[in-house]
Amino acid sequence: MPQTERWRSIDRIAIQARRYGNGYDLHMTENASGLPKKQTVYVIARDIQRHDAVGNFCMQIGKLLDDAGFDARLAAENCHPDDRAHILKMPEALTTITPDAIVLFQFSTYDPAFPAVAALPNPKIVFFQNITPERFFRGHDDHTADLVRQGLDQRPLCAQFDVIMANSIATAAALCEGLPAESAAAIDQTRIVACPPVIGTDRWDDIVPGETLDSDKRRLILFVGRLVPHKGVDDLIDGFALLANDNLDVRLAIVGGPANSPLALALKQRVAALDTRIASRIAFHHDISEAELKALYHEAHVCASMSQHEGFGVPLLDAMFFDKPLVIRSEPGMEETAGDAALVIGTPEAANIAGALAFALNDAGVQARLAQARAIRLDRFRRSADGTIIINALAKALRQAKMR
């Protein structure tokens, strides 16, 4: 594999960082001194589900605000039935919002309540989590393709908010991509606040590892993510198959769902068509607990993702927390998250993927370089994901609303 394939720079991320500021490296200059005690804050999303990145983030924000002495109220159209007692039902919750409340709206999908939220006179923050373009779903899942198209069409509503946040600099750039000139001009991209979509990087500390899901002691390559077309799981399977053909001591675990979607079944058929010596070393895990996932992270030797589109990449951050080497596809959101802590594959051909996995598994020099970069990267996220950016954004929204 050429050196450029083994370790590539990410100049386009540096260019975007110069455009939007230093992103995660800087907390907003405003502080939270302007927030009243017991300030009411509504954290709204279409879905607040357990074990989901957006849902987890909403719950983390709620805890952050409660711990800081604010009155946090979560609201969503959809949530786990057992959580409905403390998550207000949308859109009915809109009628309970008093004029002095601050609204923090999570924008990650088409939301029929978005126009009503944007029209509220309250101090408002919109947090754009990125939306996967419809081209990745069209022809595979036309229903989802239609939903994401509708979601992307809602982006101009962000101009009605006092503060716009995004889960990465790459996502901030995507907010206006393809919009009509008039709609794009209404969004001041230089004022978008980049903020990691997590509060704290040590969430795994309080989770006791579960039982090992597989007694196989061969070296584990781990993928964690949804089983949807743009995640590139087919590419990862092909790359692993090439690696495993000559390396009998490696295995692959694919963690994610849905378990029985057409794509999931197609991926399992792809594995079944492989030589049984290889297919027997590929395992799918669906609907596992965080304790079981923690056990897999502990077992992993390398974590990998060939995703074609990400806003941030929470599994990459988790892999860094567990001190695991990363192998990723060249994709702006993932490169911004992982930085130099990953081997980046420019062209996701099976030979390139197999070669990068082999380097991460076997090359002591590469492992040492990744480990050093990983420690620096994780420390950076520990500082930027401590909740300060969120608190400061609330204070700014309150001030901006008073200046309207």
Contact 35, 70 (CB under 8 A): yes
pLDDT, tens digit (0-9, with 9 covering 90-100), for 57-114: 999 999 999 999 999 999 999 999 999 999 999 999 999 999 999 999 999 999 999 9
**Vertex 229 angle, CA 349 and 52, to 5°:** 120
**Sequence-distant (≥ 6) Cβ neighbours of residue 37 within 8 angstroms:** 69
Distance of CA 336 to the CA centre of its chain: 11
Instruction: Tell the residue number behind the tokens 């083994």, with chain if given.
Output: 6
Outline where DSSP puts E strands in 57-168. Answer: 71-79, 87-89, 102-107, 124-128, 163-166
Q: How far apart are CA 119 and CA 116, in angstroms?
A: 5
Domains 11-200+386-398 and 203-383 share a fold: yes
Distance of CA 361 to the CA centre of its chain: 25
Q: How far apart are CA 129 and CA 7, in angstroms?
A: 28
Residue 223 has pLDDT above 80, yes or no: yes
Q: Which CATH class is domain 203-383?
A: alpha beta
Q: How far apart are CA 404 and CA 192, in angstroms?
A: 18
Question: Which of 175-179, 203-207, 391-395 shows the lowest per-residue confidence on average (mean pLDDT)?
Answer: 203-207
Give me 55's structure tokens.
Answer: 């849902």
Question: Which of 31-35, 193-197, 207-211, 324-328 shows the lowest per-residue confidence on average (mean pLDDT)?
Answer: 31-35
Buried b (16+ CB within 10 A) or exposed e, 249-282: ebbbbbbbbeeeeebbeebbebbeebeeebbebb
Q: Map out the domains of the chain as residue ranges.
A: 11-200+386-398, 203-383
What is the CATH code for 11-200+386-398?
3.40.50.2000
Q: Is residue 213 very low, low, confident or very high in pLDDT (cuts 50, 70, 90)?
A: confident
Rounded to the nearest 5°, which phi and psi values hold at 328?
Answer: -135, 160
pLDDT, tens digit (0-9, with 9 covering 90-100), for 275-310: 999 999 999 999 999 999 999 999 999 999 999 999
Distance of CA 29 to the CA centre of its chain: 25
Average pLDDT, the chain: 91
pLDDT, tens digit (0-9, with 9 covering 90-100), for 295-354: 999 999 999 999 999 999 999 999 999 999 999 999 999 999 999 999 999 999 999 999
* Terminal-residue alpha carbon distance, the chain: 56
Mean pLDDT of the 18-47 span: 66
With H, G, I as helix, E, B as strand and everything else as coil, classify residue 46.
strand
